[in-house]
Amino acid sequence: MTPNREEIVQEELMLNLGPQHPSTHGVFRMVLDLQGETIVGVTPYMGYLHRGFEKLAERRTAIQYQPYPDRWDYLAAMFDEMAYIGAGEALLGIQAPRRAQVLRGIVMELNRFASHLLWLGTFLLDVGALSPFLYTFREREMVLDLLMELTGARLTYAYMRFGGVHHDAEDVWLKKVRAGIPYFRQRLSEYRTLIDDNEIFRRRVEHIGIIDGTHALHYGLSGPMLRASGVPWDLRWKRPYGIYAEIPPRIITDLAGDTYARYKVRVEEMAVSLDLLEIFLDLVESGPIMASVPKVVKFPKQETYFAVEGPRGELGVYLVGNGTAYAQRMKIRPPSLFNLQVLSQLLIGHMVSDAVAILGSIDIVLGEVDR
C-alpha cells in the first residue's frame, strides 16, 4: 500500500555542529534546523572559551596586564596589544617615539598578513580544498619566524609597552623583512591564479551568504566583512592611529557582499599589507623605542575608547581609570563577535555545505569571541 501524500510527515532535522566539529574554527557551536539539506533555523552558542579577560583587567595592574591581550585573538596578537596599549597611552597621555610607531606598524602588518594567510588556508579547507592550507601555513611559518626573531614568541608576543615597544629591531632583521616581501608577493599571486577563477570554488562561494551595505552597518559589522559589502570603512585611515596617519589611504572594497567578495577583499588586503610594509620600512629612522614612562603606571580618573583595524575588523578597548594602577573597568569590542551576529541572517535558506563556507568567510577566532 503506498502511503497517501498527506500522510507523509516532513520533520525538521536538528543538527548540532560543534563545539568539536572540525569546521567551527575552535569551540564554536551552532544548532541547525534542517529541511533536507536546507537550513531553516540557526541557534549559535558561544562561551566555551571564556576566560574572563575583562575582569582580569580589574584585578591586574596596568603593567601586569600587558601580556594578557595577546590571548584574546591569538592569531593576531599584535592588534590586541595595540588596542590595549593605545587605550592606556591615551589615558596616560604618553606618545610613543617615532621609531616605535614605525616598528608597531611593521609588526602589525606582518601579523595581519599571517592572520589572513591562516584564514585563507582554513577557508579553502572548509570549501573542501586540502592543499592551500598547507601552502599558506608554509608562508605563515616564515612570517612567524620573523616575528619570533624580533619578539621571542611566535603567537603571544608581549611586544608593545606603554610608551613604545620592548625590543629594538636590528638592521639585519629589517633587511630580512624587506627581502621577504617579493617572495610573499609572488606566492600570493600564485594562490590567486590557482583559486580566483577555479570553477568549483566560484560556484561554491558566489551568491552565497549575501549581505548589503546598509544591513552590514546595522549589524555593526566591521573589517573585511563590511568592506566586502561596499562600505569603505577602514580605521587605519578613517580614524588614524600611530604611523598610519602619514600613509595615503588604500581601502579595498567590493560591492557584491557575498562570500566570494569577502575572499577577494581579504586577499587584496594581504597585498596592501605587503605594500604598507615596504612603505614602513622606508620610514624607519634611528631613535629611542621607549618614551619616558613612570615606574608605576596609574590610570587617571578618565575614560577612553581606542580602536584599531584588526584583520577581522574594529578591535576596540573601552578603558575606565580610577586613579589606581588597576582599571576600573575594561570592555573589549571584539570584531569576531560582532561579525558573528550576522550568521543566522546569512545562513538561512542555504545548504549545510554553504553553512561551513559562510562561517569560514566570517573569519572568527573564538579566543576573541568568548574572551
Alpha-carbon dihedral angle through residues 258, 262, 268, 271, given to the nearest 10 degrees:
-170
Q: How far is the CB of 129 from other proteins (least distance, A)?
A: 4
Give the number of other Cβ atoms within 10 Å of residue 24's Cβ. 21
Q: How far is the CB of 120 from other proteins (least distance, A)?
A: 13
Interaction of residue 35 with other proteins, rule CB under 8 A: no
**Site for other proteins, residues 178 to 217, rule: CB under 8 A:** 198, 200-201, 203-204
Q: How far is the CB of 353 from other proteins (least distance, A)?
A: 5
Interaction of residue 48 with other proteins, rule CB under 8 A: no
| Nearer to other proteins (CB atom), residue 125 or residue 177 | 125
Interaction of residue 37 with other proteins, rule CB under 8 A: yes
Interaction of residue 356 with other proteins, rule CB under 8 A: yes
Q: How far is the CB of 134 from other proteins (least distance, A)?
A: 4
| Nearer to other proteins (CB atom), residue 27 or residue 106 | 27
Interaction of residue 353 with other proteins, rule CB under 8 A: yes
Binding other proteins (rule: CB under 8 A), the pick from 50, 51, 55, 138 is 138
| Nearer to other proteins (CB atom), residue 38 or residue 328 | 38
- SS3 track for the chain: CCCCHHHCCCCCEEEEECCCCCCCCCCCEEEEEEECCEEEEEEEECCCCCCCHHHHHHHCEHHHHCCHHHHCCCCCHHHHHHHHHHHHHHHHCCCCCHHHHHHHHHHHHHHHHHHHHHHHHHHHHHHCCCHHHHHHHHHHHHHHHHHHHHHCCCCCCCCEECCEECCCCCHHHHHHHHHHHHHHHHHHHHHHHHHCCCHHHHHHHCCCCCCCHHHHHHCCCCCHHHHCCCCCCCHHHHCCCHHHHHCCCCCCCCCCCCHHHHHHHHHHHHHHHHHHHHHHHHHCCCCCCECCCCCCCCCCCCEEEEEEEECCEEEEEEEEECCCCEEEEEEEECHHHHHHCCHHHHHCCCEHHHHHHHHHHHCCCHHHHHC
| Nearer to other proteins (CB atom), residue 167 or residue 202 | 202
Size of the site for other proteins (CB under 8 A): 30
Binding mask 248-287 for other proteins (x = CB under 8 A): ----------------------------------------
Residue with cell 591615551: 90
| Nearer to other proteins (CB atom), residue 322 or residue 353 | 353
**Site for other proteins, residues 144 to 183, rule: CB under 8 A:** none
**Site for other proteins, residues 90 to 129, rule: CB under 8 A:** 124-129
**Site for other proteins, residues 13 to 32, rule: CB under 8 A:** 13-16, 21-23
| Nearer to other proteins (CB atom), residue 16 or residue 95 | 16
Q: How far is the CB of 195 from other proteins (least distance, A)?
A: 9
Binding other proteins (rule: CB under 8 A), the pick from 354, 363, 368, 370 is 354
Distance (Å, rounded) from C-alpha 260 to C-alpha 69?
Answer: 31
- CA-based torsion, 166, 167, 168, 174: positive or negative: negative
Q: How far is the CB of 234 from other proteins (least distance, A)?
A: 29
The stretch near other proteins (CB under 8 A) out of 55-63, 179-187, 313-321, 345-353 is: 345-353
| Residues in contact with other proteins by the rule CB under 8 A | 13-16, 21-23, 37, 124-131, 134-135, 138, 198, 200-201, 203-204, 351-356
